[in-house]
Amino acid sequence: MQKQKCVFLDRDGVLNREMGDYTYKLDAFEVLPGVPQALQILKEHGYLLIVITNQAGIAKGLYTRSEVLACHQKLQGQCQGIIDAIYFAPGHQTVSASLSRKPDSLMLERAIAKYNIDPALSWMVGDTPRDMVAGEKAGVQTILVGEHHAEKAHALQAKDLLEATRFILESTKKPAQ
């Protein structure tokens, strides 16, 4: 079976508007401009699309698993159901230790195994350094989007997912023979 390529996506701040510490209220869950278009472009170029998100508010009792799932359903609805899988880590170190939680890479590693993903052909797009660390631990290339600045000078940065999509596609173009 041929290995697949994938773009792993953080949720809050990459796919939907960051709403402070926690984004879980359905009426406030807003998909960012350009996200459906970027996802469609990536899908047309053969990428699996897998969301990797920490959801510590569940462990802290701030919101429920069903509220998170409702937000994910809204995300899928606004993106025409194009996302292949959504992994979330409900734990938090103050309540319950979890290797799934970013900056650890267990969510990515599980998806890599389940979907036969080639890390060398894959990317992690996130808006925080912990997203970059998780991607690097899993052996995928990383792109930081938004306001944070990369700690490494060679790290790729983009203003949003649409610009990150352009970087991904440009990096995979084959040189002319």
Distance of CA 26 to the CA centre of its chain: 19
DSSP 176: P
For residue 29, what are the contacts with CB-CB under 8 A and spacing of at least 6?
16, 23, 71, 74, 75
Place of tokens 């084959």: 174
Two tokens, residue 156:
């790729």
What is the edge-to-edge ordering of all strands in the sheet holding 156-158?
Answer: 85-89, 47-54, 5-9, 123-126, 141-145, 156-158
Give the residue numbers marked as catalytic.
10, 12
Q: Rounded to a whole number, what is the distance in angstroms from the first to the last CA of the chain? A: 28
